[in-house]
Amino acid sequence: MGRIRILPDQVANQIAAGEVVDRPASVVKELLENALDAGATRIRVEVEAGGRKLIRLSDDGQGMTRDDALLAFERHATSKLRTADDLLSIATLGFRGEALPSIASVARVTLETATGEETTGTRMEIAGGKILHVSDAALPRGTTLTVADLFFNTPARRKFLRAESTELGHITALVTHYALANPDKHFELLSATHTIVSAPPVARIAERIYQIFGKETLAQLLPVAAELPLQRAGLPEPPPWRKNPDNPARDPGSLRLSGFYSKPELQKLNRNSIYIFINKRLIRDRLLMHAITEAYRNVIPPTSFPVVLLFLEMPPEEVDVNVHPAKTEVRFRQQSLVHDFVRDSLRTALIKARPAAGFLAALDSAPAASPSLMPPAASPLPGSPDGEPVPPDSNPAAFQTARTDADAFELTPHLPTPIPGKLPFTAQSFQPGGGFSGWNDQQAWGEAAAALFQPAGLPPAGDCSPHPSDDPRVNPAAETALIEAEQAAANLNQLGSLRPLGQLRESFILATGDDGLWIIDQHVAHERILFEKILRDRQVEKVMRQRLLMPLLVELKPAQMVVFASIAEELERNGFEVEPFGPQTLAVKAAPVGLEGSSLERMLAEVIEQSSADSDEPKQNHDLTELRTRIAASIACHSAIKVNTPLDPARMEWLLSELAKTSHPTSCPHGRPIALMYSWKEIQRAFHRI
Ligand SMILES: Nc1ncnc2c1ncn2[C@@H]1O[C@H](COP(=O)(O)OP(=O)(O)OP(=O)(O)O)[C@@H](O)[C@H]1O
Ligand SMILES: [Mg+2]
């Protein structure tokens, strides 16, 4: 007898469950996605004991007929795909037909569902993959799935679960993400004792950020929106004989980006505050992470990360979501196009906004490894490769992170106080339709973009969703926060017209403008001006060099000689003329203008040291752009005006006007702030005038 056997369905489902359901949060994720796919506008999640004991998700979506309900728990049963071709253009969050049977194979599940069209709804009980009971039930339209005793029949899995608070933290993070991606829908998350998330529908993502994270967070973010038509982008035109005039090629659509990014003054020590949604699906993607880091290169320090909420919309054919069972990774058809689009859009937005750092905010904004949207110790995404390991966390109030001065910015959702009595439930908050609107829905996107960027306080025409101020739970201060956030965006443009008053300890320039009092760090200001000039000159090979009267002799160790050899050519293009002078000595005969003596020596030592650190990481070693910017940053740093240097008024004015012309007057190439503003409002407030 042969040894190979087909596995029984129950075993196959448990194997699938191993990939799809690794913790309570992954159950919530699958159920949330199902509810969104079913067009729900209101989603309520209840959990007990961090989801181990109970997860109940109710939605007001389209529901299921009795037949569909029976089929839904079969393996590979889905309403979202029909043919293999459909896999190439997935417009729903789910498509594998695996989630429900996987969950049902490792828990006790109750399904209650009604379409509103059939005379009665269906109630069904399943445990360990077996249907135990099916009956009629009078139910409103929608679906409620109750998942109890998760992993009751797989003790090994149960052992891997973390503390209740950690699991609840993961669930909170997840509901928060989906709430951000769907501001027009009502999300609630309740534990046995608390309302953790309560987010009624709002018109704009900005308002949703306010609802969930509060005013300070919103004030530190700036909006971004961009669009790139895919017409011909990245792909060759078909030859004339392949073109069919009767059947013109379908519009290839466009890449669209919207969302929020942090001002350079806000820096994080990890990537936890970067959120990327593709067609409303939250994903982890190294390529886009890289694009975002690139956008901030030389604006924030290389060891810091920004806070970014990025919503990318693209035709479903452009992105393959069928890469990982947990659907948290994707593959783009045109990788570099998407990468460059994200990098350039963010970079352009940063250059355009030139946000000025507030004096008080800068005091608080030391880079912090914030848990961001996550509660402490939470992983970014259940099932994602970066998600583990998670240190156990036994603090039951874990996600109510204490606020300290150094941690002024957090994306951690604040726990709303429990709302006594019944939640207000108006007919208004139930809106028909919803669900995932395919990217093709131009109007929908247009509206979404308009909603995101229109002036605060004006609901879009025809908008029927409750405005925050209509809702008793939403503080009308949301409006003020929005206005402040928007106003804060336009500032550094005035640098050129500031009036310098003098210097503080011959190191900082004091200047006044309409908006307040400015303090400018003269060294880093000059550093930024020089840095951008050096890069520009280098690009057109017009670097100015100066001959040294006496060659400068530099002693190097053998390992440093090797590093030097690898960067010698780039140094030469930056104005250096260096010749070997014995086995361990270099003679520098010419150098970029402005760099001499000990500064020149220190600059060379710095670049060699930084480049040798890199040679341990071969992947970066050949990155010429990085080397180029590193050299430019180093030359700029060592030839810029130093602190403790007196400047006459004309020189100060020159410095300010040159700084105004740079792309990033916000921070020096190493990420330190250049100009801080003590705003007129802050001054008035401090003197108790307002
Ligand atoms: N909340 C819901 N409302 C209406 N229909 C639902 C709901 N949840 C599930 N269904 C139906 O049950 C089917 C099976 O759900 P399941 O989550 O197992 O698979 P899927 O969503 O199609 O794919 P995936 O495994 O990728 O999630 C869905 O295709 C859908 O038709
Ligand atoms: Mg699903």
pLDDT at 392: 33
pLDDT for residue 689 is more than 60: yes
Average pLDDT over residues 404-424: 36
Q: What gap in Å lies between CA 272 and CA 292, rounded to an integer?
A: 13
For residue 27, report the distance from its CA to the centre of ligand 2, in Å.
Answer: 10
Is residue 100 in contact with ligand 1, taking CB distance under 6 Å?
A: yes
Which residue, by CA, sits nearest to atom 1 of ligand 1?
35
Atom of ligand 1 nearest to the CA of 102: 18
- Tell which wins on pLDDT, 665 or 461: 665
Answer with the residue of higher pLDDT: 183 or 485: 183
Q: Is the pLDDT of residue 505 over 90?
A: yes
pLDDT class of 18 with cuts at 50, 70, 90 = confident
Residue 313 has pLDDT above 90, yes or no: yes
| Cα of 9 vs its chain's centroid, Å | 39
Nearest ligand atom owner, CA of 103: 1
- Please write the tens of the pLDDT for every residue from 337-348: 999 999 999 999
Dist. CA 99 → ligand 2 center (Å): 5
Residue with more model confidence, 508 or 417: 508
Pocket test for ligand 1, best of 37, 55, 59, 126 (most atoms within 8 A of CB): 37
User: For the stretch 336-365, what's the b/e string if a residue is b when 16 or more beta carbons lie within 10 angstroms of its beta carbon?
Assistant: ebbbebbbebbbebbeebbbbbbbbbbebb
Distances 682 to 359, 420, 489 between C-alpha atoms, Å = 9, 37, 16
Q: Answer yes or no: is the C-beta of 99 below 6 A from any ligand 1 atom.
A: yes
Question: Taking residues 329-333, what's their average pLDDT?
Answer: 90
SS3 for 250? coil
Mean pLDDT of 93-101: 89
Please give the pLDDT value at position 640.
93
Res 571 pLDDT > 80 = yes
Q: pLDDT for 344-375, tens place per residue? A: 999 999 888 877 777 766 666 555 544 433 33
Instruction: Return d(Cα 293, Cα 150) in angstroms, integer.
Output: 39
pLDDT per residue as tens digits for the range 31-54: 999 999 999 999 999 999 999 999
Q: 143 CB less than 6 Å from ligand 1?
A: yes
Question: Is 95 a pocket residue for ligand 1 (Cβ < 6 Å)?
Answer: yes
The pLDDT of 629-642, averaged and rounded, is 92
Question: CB of 122 closer than 6 A to ligand 1?
Answer: no
CA 78 to ligand 2 centroid distance, Å: 8
Ligand nearest to the CA of 141: 1
Q: How many angstroms is it from 81 CA to the middle of ligand 2?
A: 11
- Atom 29, ligand 1: which residue's CA is nearest? 78
Q: How many residues does the chain have?
A: 690
Residue nearest to atom 9 of ligand 1 (CA): 34
Convert the pLDDT of each residue in 173-209 to its tens digit. 889 889 999 999 999 999 999 899 999 999 988 899 8
Q: Does residue 455 carry a pLDDT above 80?
A: no
| Atom from ligand 1 closest to the CA of residue 34 | 8
What per-residue confidence (pLDDT) applies to 478? 53
Between 618 and 579, the more confident residue is: 579
Does residue 98 line the site of ligand 1, with CB under 6 A? yes
Residue nearest to atom 12 of ligand 1 (CA): 72
232 pLDDT tier (thresholds 50, 70, 90): low
Ligand 1: nearest atom to the Cα of 30: 27
Give the angle subtended at the CA of 179 by the CAs of 332 and 461, to the nearest 5°: 95
Atom of ligand 1 nearest to the CA of 94: 26
97 lines ligand 1 (CB under 6 A): yes
- pLDDT given for residue 88 in this prediction: 77
Cis peptide before 245 (omega within 30 of 0): no
What pLDDT is recorded for position 397?
A: 35
Side by side, which strands form the sheet with 54-59?
Answer: 130-137, 121-127, 108-114, 142-148, 54-59, 42-48, 186-190, 195-199
517 forms beta bridges with 512, 678
Spacing, Cα 194 to ligand 2 middle (Å): 27
Question: What are the residues whose beta carbons fall under 8 Å from the beta carbon of 200, sequence distance 6 or more?
Answer: 186, 211, 429, 466, 471, 473, 474
443 or 363, greater pLDDT: 363
Mean pLDDT score of the chain, rounded to an integer? 78
Ligand number nearest CA of 87 is: 1
Residue 26 CA to residue 99 CA, distance in Å, equals 10
> Which atom belonging to ligand 1 lies closest to the Cα atom of 78?
29
517-555 pLDDT, tens digit each: 999 999 999 999 999 999 999 988 888 889 998 999 999
d(CA 201, CA 164): 29
Say which residue, 534 or 407, is predicted with more confidence: 534
Span of 50-59, 573-582, 666-675 with lowest mean pLDDT: 666-675
Predicted pLDDT at 368? 54
* Confidence at residue 87, expressed as pLDDT on a 0 to 100 scale: 77
- Inter-CA distances, 201 with 212, 378, 485, 494, 614, Å: 12, 27, 21, 38, 49
Mean pLDDT of 588-592: 93
Q: Whose CA is nearest to atom 20 of ligand 1?
A: 97
Q: How many A from CA of 31 to the centre of ligand 2?
A: 7
* 3 state DSSP class of 556: coil
Kindly tell me if the per-residue pLDDT of 131 is higher than 50: yes
C-beta of 563 in contact with ligand 1 (< 6 A): no
Strand 274-278 relative to strand 308-313, pairing = parallel
* 449 CA from centroid of ligand 2 (Å): 28
Rounded-to-integer distance, Cα 568 and Cα 546, Å? 17
- Pairing mode, if any, of strands 577-580 and 545-555? unpaired
- CA-nearest residue for atom 19, ligand 1, is 97
Q: Which ligand 1 atom sits nearest the alpha carbon of residue 20?
A: 25
Q: How far is the CA of 394 from the centre of ligand 2 (A)?
A: 31
pLDDT digits (tens, 9 = 90+) for 275-286: 899 998 988 889
Q: Is 657 near ligand 1, meaning CB less than 6 Å away? A: no
User: Taking residues 80-105, what's their average pLDDT?
Assistant: 85
Mutate-to-test residue for ligand 1 from 21, 57, 100, highest number of ligand atoms within 8 A of CB: 100
Cβ atoms of 382 and 170 within 8 Å: the answer is: yes
Residue 34 in contact with ligand 1 by CB distance below 6 A: yes
C-alpha–C-alpha distance, residues 312 and 280, integer Å:
8
Going by pLDDT thresholds of 50, 70 and 90, the confidence category of residue 24 is very high
- DSSP conformation class of 568: H
75 CA distance to ligand 2 middle (Å): 12
Ligand 1 in reach of 78 Cβ (< 6 A): yes
Judge whether 256 and 313 are in contact, CB under 8 Å. Answer: yes
Contact between residue 339 and residue 285 where contact means Cβ atoms under 8 Å apart? no
Identity at 540, one-letter amino acid code: V
Residue nearest to atom 6 of ligand 1 (CA): 34
What's the pLDDT band for 321 if we cut at 50, 70, 90?
A: confident
Pocket flag, ligand 1, residue 29 (CB < 6 Å): no
- Pocket of ligand 1, candidates 56, 78, 87: which has the most ligand atoms within 8 Å of its Cβ, to mutate? 78
Protein residue closest via CA to atom 10 of ligand 1: 34
pLDDT at 191: 93
Alpha-carbon distance of 280 to 295, in angstroms, equals 22
Q: What pLDDT is attached to residue 480?
A: 53
CA-nearest residue for atom 17, ligand 1, is 99
Report which protein residue has its CA nearest ligand 1's atom 21: 94
Distance 178 CA to ligand 2 centre (A): 15
Q: Does residue 614 have its Cβ closer than 6 Å to ligand 1?
A: no
